[in-house]
Structure 1
Amino acid sequence: MPYYPILFNALKHHLSWLQDFIRTATPDEFTAALLTLGASQMDLYCGELSVPVILGDIMAALEREQVQEKSAFVQWVADNGGFREVILSDGSLWVLRYSEREQYIHLHPGRYAAHCIRVKAGVLKTAVAWQYKTRGTVPPDLGAINELRKEIGLSPVKTLEESRHLMSMVRLLS
């Protein structure tokens, strides 16, 4: 894959990448990556475009706007209140911001955009950890979910029925 100056956390924002990661990560990789999910809400892209396609399409959009160079990008984003939006071929909306890092284009899916779902970090961490630990072979039960949540530093849930979002994330990741 070519280098793009794009900061994109696929673990937080791309379902199929996340599913591949769950299948292939070593325990050390998994533990470190789980910490990057943060503590707030995020949007998870569930569409068909792969990460390399998304990054390439974003760079093509920036080229069309003639803002692929850092200084032009910084000005372009600043002229619009600190962010820009790009719609890709599948109708998904992506938000671009400036990052002070070497990867100066900070990319994430648009909030409630097409092919995206909004998910709380605790729900995503729990569902990811469950799928990683069980490899999708064990249906979740309250005791096991709460033991897992304790292991990853989260408070227990009262009932699985109340945690419909958690159960839907577990199913989505399988």
Structure 2
Amino acid sequence: MPILNSTLQPAIANADLPAPVLFHPLKHHLGYIRTFISNHVRNRQQEIAPALQSIGRSQLDFYTGHLSPASIASEVILYLDRHQLLQPDAYLSYLSGRDNHYQTITLSDGTDWVLRWGVITDRYVHLHPARYASQTIRVKAVSLKTAIAATIAAQQLNTSIDLQLVNHVRAQWLYLPPLTVLTPTEGAGKLIVLLNQPENKNAT
């Protein structure tokens, strides 16, 4: 199996997920992102930007529930094992049963997750939240990157987040054009509010 772009590798390693699960929590998991922010407040922009770039530029589905990345991975592995689908050939056959080559399963918190074929060695169970599923929101990748960068920068500078700060990180960290308005109800502004809410301590 070919190796995917190496920018994804740190996100997998940092989440400490069991093989064969491939999951990019910096794109898809609110609790992980809050931890990422806390862990990188003392880092320089040059050390943070590559991880943010791994989020990409498309739309994505973003999980806001209480299950940790490790719990999500464990539940998926248990499901596949119970159905004799954990080995690569069986898993690939399972996905091939549909024309679009993916399957959807429901986890213990009622959220739906999409299973695809992963193309990183030993990480063939590619996992992400289902579109418009319970406890998920659909966001633009550039908005998510902006919100993460702005939150880290505000904590580094011990200041509040405003349009000037947001446009600074968009230009200097992310090489994105400036925003003309920042509102708490949409786009990057909505995600900034979400990332700065008190963290749910009940994640398992």
The SS at the match of 2:19 is coil
Pairwise CA distance, 1:51: 0.7
Aligned to 1:170: 192
1:138 Cα offset (Å): 2.9
Determine which of 156, 159, 162 is the counterpart of 1:138.
159
The aligned runs of 1:65-144 (5 Å cut-off) are 65-81=83-99, 82-102=101-121, 103-135=123-155, 137-144=158-165
Q: Name the SS of the counterpart of 1:99 in structure 2.
A: strand
> TM-score of the superposition, structure 2-length normalised?
0.80
Q: Which SS does the other structure have where 2:65 is aligned?
A: coil
What is the DSSP-based 3-state SS (H/G/I as helix, E as strand, rest coil) of the residue aligned with 2:139? Answer: strand
SS of the aligned residue for 1:95 comes to strand
Counterpart AA for 2:94: W
Output the CA distance in 2 between the equivalents of 1:44 and 1:163.
16
**Following TM superposition, by how much is the alpha carbon of 1:162 offset from its aligned partner in structure 2, in angstroms?**
8.9
What residue ranges of structure 2 are gaps of 5+ in the alignment? 1-15, 197-204
Letter in 1 for 2:39: T
Partner in structure 2 of residue 57 of structure 1:
75
CA distance in 2, matches of 1:141, 1:101: 39
Q: Residue 93 of structure 1 contacts residue 110 of structure 1 at CA under 8 Å; is this kept in 2?
A: yes
1:8/1:108 contact within 8 Å kept: yes
Q: CA 1:35–1:49 in structure 2 vs 1: closer, same or farther (change >3 Å)?
A: same
Native 8 Å contact 1:157 1:163 kept in 2: no
Counterpart residue number, 1:3: 18
Shift of 1:161: 3.6
Q: TM-score, normalised by structure 1?
A: 0.93
| Consecutive aligned runs of 4 or more in structure 1 exceeding 6 Å deviation | none
Deviations 1:51-103 (A, max 9, x none): 11000000011112210001000000011220010100101110010123221
Find the counterpart in structure 2 of residue 150 from structure 1: 171
Count residues with an aligned counterpart: 174
What is the rounded CA distance, in whole Å, between the counterparts of 1:157 and 1:5 in structure 2?
40
What is the letter of the counterpart of residue 129 of structure 1?
A: A
| Contact kept? 1:7, 1:105, Cα under 8 Å | yes
Listed one character per residue, the Cα deviations across residues 98-118 of structure 1 (whole Å, up to 9, x for unaligned) are 123221111100011111111
Which residue number corresponds to residue 17 of structure 1?
32
Structure 1 residue runs without a partner (length 5+): none
For the residue of structure 2 that corresponds to 1:108, the secondary structure is: strand
CA gap 1:2/1:114 in 2 versus in 1, 3 angstroms: closer
Q: Is the 8 A contact 2:17 2:73 kept in 1?
A: no
State the Cα RMSD in Å: 1.8
Q: Secondary structure at the match of 1:3?
A: coil
Shift in Å at residue 139 of structure 1? Answer: 2.8
- Residues of 2 paired with 1:83 and 1:144: CA distance? 40
Of 55, 58, 64 in structure 2, the residue corresponding to residue 46 of structure 1 is 64
Deviations 1:142-174 (A, max 9, x none): 222112211111111111249732211001111
